[in-house]
Amino acid sequence: MAYRFERRSTTPGDYRFTTAAIAELQEGGGGTTDPLTSAPALSATVLSATSIQLTTTFPAEAATVTIARRIIGGVYSNRAVLIAAGSHTDTVTANELYEYVAVAANADGTSARASSPVFVRATLATSPILTQIADAVVAELNDHTFSESFTATRAWAPAFDLIDMANIHVTVVPRTVESATESRTTARREYAIDVAVQKRVANDSESDVLAALAREIAAFFERRRLAAHPAAIWVREENDPVALPEHLQQMNQFTGIVRLSYIVFE
């Protein structure tokens, strides 16, 4: 016997599990609600903007669990019939809010629904624009060949052991956001990204090389659109400090900062 779960009855929280056709159920068809000794558990995990993973735990005497869903205000449709406790990946529409229920049935058709529906929106949190721009800067640095060899990384607070500073470190640091009104419907936000060039040095000649690299990086980004974030418009760069004197004096380490500023209209 194929069991179909298609609708909620007029009583809030009362779900129906029936062998009737979908069309009949959507018009208010009947069903049975004879309970099992326990109900199935259902959980949902958003995998991406278009997929949700549904996981069930069965009552011991259940033969199947049917998972059904609806968009809020819509009608239910079956998504999967599981014959063992497990999971189903549902393909969904991004940013839509869905309601899922699970109904367990034994071999005789006796059924029990989950104690409450699961509500889930098919969306994932996105990283802030500040870090998106920083990641785009990292990608540009690593896709280009500069006069000195390095691999750029992103960090909120770059910190390295002195023993690791024999090689050049280029670190991209998300720094500040400033907002202003552009129009009644648009905000103008300016995002500042620091690019730190660091290396332990033995003399001023080595510092000269690193200072030149910092200037090379600054020139590289001038008026350049970021491939991974083309909405960000370059507006200025600052090379301040060219070198941190306290790092040179205390650790024999060159640290130069290039600040890149971008505007985004939101």
Confidence of residue 38 (pLDDT cuts 50, 70, 90): low
- Residues 135/228, Cβ–Cβ less than 8 Å: yes
Q: What pLDDT does residue 211 have?
A: 96
Rg, Å, the chain Cα set: 29
CA dihedral 147, 148, 153, 155 (to 10 degrees): -100
Confidence of residue 33 (pLDDT cuts 50, 70, 90): very low
Residue 184 has a CB neighbour count (10 Å cut-off) of 5
SS3 62: coil
Least confident stretch, 67-76, 125-134, 173-182: 67-76
Q: What pLDDT does residue 125 have?
A: 55
What is the 8-class DSSP label of residue 32?
B
In whole angstroms, what is the distance from residue 237 CA to residue 177 CA?
15
Q: Is the dihedral of CA 76, 81, 85, 90 positive or negative?
A: negative
Of the candidates 112, 115, 116, 114, the residue with the CA atom closest to the CA atom of residue 32: 112
Rounded average pLDDT over 113-140: 80
Q: What pLDDT does residue 163 have?
A: 77
Pairing assessment for the beta strands 187-200 and 87-91 based on DSSP bridges:
unpaired
Domains in the chain with CATH codes: 4-121 (2.60.40.10), 129-265 (3.30.2000.30)
- Alpha helices, DSSP H, located in the chain: 22-26, 129-143, 204-221, 245-251
Q: What pLDDT does residue 24 have?
A: 33
Least confident stretch, 83-87, 131-135, 245-249: 83-87
Confidence of residue 26 (pLDDT cuts 50, 70, 90): very low
**Helices and strands (DSSP H and E) totals, the chain:** 4, 15
pLDDT of 6 above 50: no
SS3 57: strand
Q: What is the mean pLDDT of the chain?
A: 79
